[in-house]
Amino acid sequence: MKPRRVCAVSFSPTGKSEELARLLSAELAAFTGAAQSFFSLNLPRERAGVLRFARDDLVVAVSPVYAGRLPNKLAPDFARVLRGDGTPVLAVCAFGNRSPGDALREWLLLLEAGGFVPLGAMAAACRHAFTDDVGRGRPDAQDRAELLAFARAAAAKLGAPELFPLAYDRETPLAPYYTPLRADGLPAKFLKAKPVCLENCTRCGVCADVCPMGSVDRDTLETPGVCIKCQACVRACPEGARVLTDADFLSHAAMLREHFTARAANTVLL
């Protein structure tokens, strides 16, 4: 099968999932000679409709890992929005150098239920959203080489007479979400924590523009709605004026810096 389009789909609050999606889709397009299309799931309006993909499309679907699973507030949106028709897909999860947990298997199950046929899957280590010291610089040159090799190997499977779904564990119940820990090893309870604006805030409103939950009030720049700790507003703020000050959140970030700076391996399923 020669795909008509290579379609990159990503939820990417801090840019890493999109980086992976664009890298993989560019290599796949070059390998197959197909056109490229890009789809974002970042904002509520981008998840309002349904994205339908044809049998002759090839989709690269990338989601970040949150506590060892797909983002729990967004997974129902992903399941509703993404629709295939026997469409081949590469399922990719971006994890912050700690662990992909069960997110990749959850992603595969969700995509198959939506009508996609998995060609391959990859859990790719990236910089952690909470701290640059964990996964610093990733994906780096070694990661990119592994990603490109994965893309080429997956695309080569399209030449087979029949498209067979990827073999993976479809039966075992998904693992629970990881419980974040503080530096002292106790559970870090920051579920209700929300970013605050510092005195150098210029009221530009970028934080409201990028919030994937639409939770930042444009007038007050407070966050009355749900905060998923994605760090989109924190990293997008041009003045560095938006931060999380919650003690348990900061202690969890310190724990990550202490225990997860060593290079984590990528996982490839083909």
pLDDT of 184: 98
CB burial string 50-73: b at 16+ within 10 A, e below: ebebeeebbbbbbbbbbbbbbbee
| Single-letter code of the amino acid located at 30 | A
Angstrom distance (rounded) from CA 61 to CA 53: 12
pLDDT digits (tens, 9 = 90+) for 201-243: 999 999 999 999 999 999 999 999 999 999 999 999 999 999 9
Peptide bond between residue 44 and the one before it cis (omega within 30 degrees of 0): no
- CATH of 5-175+262-269 among 3.30.70.20, 3.40.50.720, 3.40.50.360, 3.40.50.970: 3.40.50.360
**Residue 77 in 3-state DSSP?**
helix
Fold of the 196-245 domain: Alpha-Beta Plaits (3.30.70)
pLDDT digits (tens, 9 = 90+) for 59-107: 999 999 999 999 999 999 999 999 999 999 999 999 999 999 999 999 9
Angstrom distance (rounded) from CA 255 to CA 220: 32
Angstrom distance (rounded) from CA 210 to CA 117: 31
pLDDT digits (tens, 9 = 90+) for 248-268: 999 999 999 999 999 999 999
Domain boundaries, the chain: 5-175+262-269, 196-245
